[in-house]
Chain A
Amino acid sequence: MSDKIICRCEEVLLSEIVEAMKTGAQTEKELKLKTRAGMGICQGRTCRPLLEQIISFYTNKKIPQASNLTFSIPVRPLSLSALAHTGKDYKNEN
């Protein structure tokens, strides 16, 4: 089997995901903590559905309707200064 990139941001290969599952990882969160898949700049926007499929394939669990991985704000990458400017404290701080 030729290997495939699952998480492009963190460059995680399918073989690494499968290896992590062999050593006990069962959920997206466990896979993330073991391989960093989903921890990159896009925060799993690309690899999340792939991970769900892989888990479903190897564990016979159904693909979840809503993702098991939590999304946290900001939902899109934002520069620190742009984030700073969104709040009322900005004036007090500067």
Chain B
Amino acid sequence: MEIADAVVIGGGVIGTSIAYRLAEDRNVILIEKGEVGSGTSGACDKAIFLQSKQPGFPVRLAKASKEIYENLQAELEEPIEFKKGGGMIVIEKEAHLDFMKEFVKKQYKAGIDVNLLDRKETLAIQPALSETIAGSTFSTEDAEVNPLLLSQAFAAAAKRRGASIQTYTEVTGIKTQDGKITGVQTNQGYIATELVINAAGPFASQIAEMAGVGLTIMPRRGVILISEKVEPMINGNILCSQYMASKHFTSKSEKNAPSYGIGLSLGQTESGNLLIGGSREFKGYDRKVEPHVLSAIAAHACRIAPALNKIKIIRSMVGFRPYTGDGLPIIDWAREVDGFVVAAGHEGDGIALAPITGKLVTGLVNNDSKSSDLLEPLKMDRLQVV
């Protein structure tokens, strides 16, 4: 039997970020059933977008996270390929122009440096785009990071602080006594602890259930096409206004919206591969992507960026966004049992929000009043269904 001050469940960007912060003054064990970063955090894009977030609290949270990113590479002493390459949201149809104009105005007020560009200005930055687009919004504040390296870097830095990172280990049960957490059972043994952090991303509901905690986080499937290596042709990251509509307005049944929640996300890795996304679907944990979803993503990308037509796609990648329902994660103590923290549900923003999540969880367990301002809107009970 092992003993730990805290057990973090899940070795994605969220769990590793938390383990790193908690390990500063605690004896931490992180449990991951696969490899570090082998879940959603290894099957996603690399964007740290500010301008795509809803004005108000989501922007504030993303900004706080971005601030940590500014020095993260030096802090972790590991390469994470953090780059401030800027971000663009392409406005394809004139019909989206008014909605995006409003959005930019609000973002500007929220303190994000974002500008509305016309077609010519847009093509000057991204020559790969179609001549028929209406314009774009562009922000130099948007950045990117290599998510594969990020989880590895957090895990390595946590280890240096004395944390134990146990991979190929699956949590099978959580022990409680008199309404308190007492330990975690894995397929490799038992760990006695009074503090459990549930950072299992799209599997957070299953973990919560083991502790008798009610939590609804659903997997929202996303698919990305990956191209062969090509010369640099995309600057920073690109989304399309359809993506914004898919992301923020799914409930308002938009007429003429493309199938499978398709919205362009486009970026190029340091190695030269293009990441061409993406879709948003509720399909359980099914990894078998229907061919028509892939072709729909390809068709959408070809139309907005015809320069990609001839580029060869070498594989696809499937990830499950942890979906809470309102686009924000849950970072909170469970009500049902003492010693159980939920830090999951980052949906499509987990890479952007990983640094702040580690700090907020530490603030939560240390009862640090500095964090309460950002923690308040992330409480569990905001989502209680009627």
Contacts and interface: CB of A to CB of B under 8 A. Distances in A.
Contacts of B294: 73-74, 83, 86-87
Interface stretch (A13-21, A28-36, A48-56, A57-65): A28-36
Interface residues of B, number: 38
Given A74-B316, A93-B296, A93-B303, A80 B228 contact: no
Contacts of A90: 295, 299
Contacts of B276: 80
B314 A80 contact: no
Q: Among B148, B294, B311, which residue has the most Cβ atoms of chain A within 10 A? A: B294
Nearest to A88: B292
B314 A84 contact: no
30 contacts: A27-B35, A30-B35, A41-B228, A41-B312, A41-B314, A43-B315, A73-B316, A74-B294, A74-B315, A77-B314, A78-B313, A79-B310, A80-B276, A80-B302, A80-B313, A81-B302, A81-B309, A81-B310, A83-B225, A83-B295, A84-B301, A86-B294, A86-B295, A87-B292, A87-B294, A87-B296, A89-B259, A93-B258, A93-B296, A93-B299
A22 interface: no
Taking residues whose C-beta sits less than 8 angstroms from the other chain, chain A's interface range is: 20 to 34
A73 B310 contact: no
Contacts of B301: 80, 84
B359 interface: no
Nearest to B308: A80
A93 B298 CA distance: 10
Nearest to A27: B35
B228 A84 contact: no
Contacts of A29: 35, 38
